[in-house]
Chain A
Amino acid sequence: MAAGRRIDVEEVGDVTIATFVDKKILDENNIQQIGSQLFALVEEDGRKRIILDFSNVEYLSSAALGKLITMDKKVKANSGKLRLCSIRPDIYEVFAITKLNKLFDIKDAQEDALQGF
């Protein structure tokens, strides 16, 4: 893993799975890096079907939610689809309170996210 790499990227068929490396997506610099690396998947690599895997993530701030919203817009603008998966209950609550569970397509596990994608 290269220094500063915030997401692990793997491909399953034509689907890209981006797994967050960090346990805490809180720190401002960290969030900026995550944003840049996520946006590059769409803007530089032109990927259309992207799954964001949260299995490592234990903390998430509202600034991180902001990056996810921007990511969702970029994917849609590129005629792609974005799914989120493996979000632990505490973190899911953050999405539910802010009603972002309605904006994002959230699946329980990675297999569920891959199904019919």
Chain B
Amino acid sequence: MISAEDFDELFDETIPSDTAKGQEVQERIIALMEKYNFTERDIFSTRLALEEGIINAIKHGNRMDKNKFVRIQWAISPEKIRVVIKDEGPGFDPCDVPDPTALENLERPCGRGIMLMKAFMDLIEYSERGTILTIEKNQGSE
């Protein structure tokens, strides 16, 4: 999923559909960003996006099915971090997600995760019918 050439370190982890396991991976990624001196702002943005991306894969992708897994690959260089999250769900069309900021949707309690990832990350891309999410943050970008 990620080519190692562009990065200094590459990690690959497969976890069950368990949010606590997702948190553990999230902490490892954040610790790595701290090691590479990413700014607090980069870390804030990435933590938020990881939370949304991993939760979406577990809850909406795998529907919390403990027999299904989420594969998380992450790679880092001093310039950027890239994370790829793959679930085993049926997929979805990201374009079908209703705009959560539309007046009629403003009071709906869900549907804001993708919007937040788009706002806080430099790249967010869905592939393989929405089962693979790639997010990227450049060091020091706003």
Contacts and interface: CB of A to CB of B under 8 A. Distances in A.
A65 B100 CA distance: 12
Contacts of B100: 98-99
Contact of B116 (A67, A72, A94, A102): A94
B39 to A, nearest CB: 12
Which range holds the interface residue count of chain A? Answer: 20 to 34
B110 A62 contact: yes
Nearest to A62: B112
Interface string B1-23: 00000000000000000011001
Contacts of B106: 99-100, 102-103
Contacts of A63: 55, 110
Nearest to A67: B109
Interface string A77-110: 0000000000000100110011110110000000
B31 interface: no
B48 A59 contact: yes
A26 B44 CA distance: 12
Per DSSP, chain B at the interface is helix
A51 B109 CA distance: 20
A56 B106 CA distance: 26
A94 B108 contact: no
Nearest to B19: A28
B52 A62 contact: yes
A48 B109 CA distance: 21
B107 A73 contact: yes
Query: Which of A59, A62, A72, A73 lies at the interface centre, i.e. has the most chain B CB atoms within 10 A of its CB?
Result: A62
A26 B109 contact: no
B108 A69 contact: yes
A109 to B, nearest CB: 22
Contact of A98 (B23, B41, B51, B116): B116
Interface string A11-28: 000000000000000111
Interface of B: 19-20, 23, 41, 44, 47-48, 51-52, 55, 100-101, 106-113, 115-116, 119
